[in-house]
Amino acid sequence: MTKRVGILGGTFDPPHFGHLIIANEVLQQLNLDEIQFLPNYKPPHKLKASSTTAEQRVEMLKIAIKNNQSFSIETIEIERKGTSYTFDTMSELKRRNPEVDYYFIIGADMVESLSKWYKIDDLSQMVQFVGVSRPGYLLKSEYPIITIEVPLIEISSSSIRNKCEDGKSVQYFLPDKVIRYMKENHLYGL
Secondary structure letter of residue 169 according to DSSP: -
For residue 93, which of 190, 6, 188, 165 has the smallest C-alpha distance? 6
CA 53 – CA 83 distance, rounded (Å): 15
Q: Distance between the two ends of the chain, CA-based, in angstroms?
A: 48
Task: Out of 5, 6, 9, 26, name the contact with ligand NCN by CB under 6 A.
Answer: 9
| Residue 155 binding partner per list ligand ATP, ligand NCN, none, with a CB distance cut-off of 5 to 8 Å that depends on partner kind | ligand ATP
Q: Does 81 bind ligand NCN (CB under 6 A)?
A: no
106 touching ligand ATP, by CB under 6 A: yes
The reply to whether 26 sits near ligand NCN by the rule CB under 6 A is no
What does 5 interact with, of ligand NCN, ligand ATP, none (CB < 5 to 8 A by kind)? none
- At 107 the three-state DSSP class reads strand
For residue 103, state whether it binds ligand NCN (rule: CB under 6 A): no
Contact 107, 132 (CB under 8 A): yes
> Could you say whether residue 40 binds ligand NCN (CB under 6 A)?
yes
Residue 38, contacted partner among ligand NCN, ligand ATP, none, CB below 5-8 A by kind: ligand NCN
Q: Which is nearer to ligand NCN, 6 or 10 (CB)?
A: 10
CA geometry: angle 54, 56, 58, nearest 5 deg: 70
Considering only 70, 75, 128, 156, the residue that binds ligand ATP (CB under 6 A) is 156
Q: What part of residues 105-124 is at the interface with ligand NCN (CB under 6 A)?
A: 110, 117-118
Among 129, 157, 174, 178, binds ligand ATP (CB under 6 A): 157
Q: How far is the CB of 129 from ligand NCN (least distance, A)?
A: 10
Of 4, 21, 34, 44, the residue at the interface with ligand NCN (CB under 6 A) is: 44
CA separation for the pair 21, 26 (Å, rounded): 9
Binders of ligand NCN in range 48-77 (CB under 6 A): none
Q: Which residues of 154-170 are buried (b: 16+ CB within 10 A; e: fewer)?
A: ebbbeebbeebeeeeeb
Q: Which long-range contacts (CB under 8 A, 24 or more apart) does 184-188 make?
A: 185/56, 187/14, 187/51, 187/52, 187/56, 188/14, 188/51, 188/52, 188/160, 188/161, 188/164
Any contact of residue 14 with ligand ATP (CB under 6 A)? no
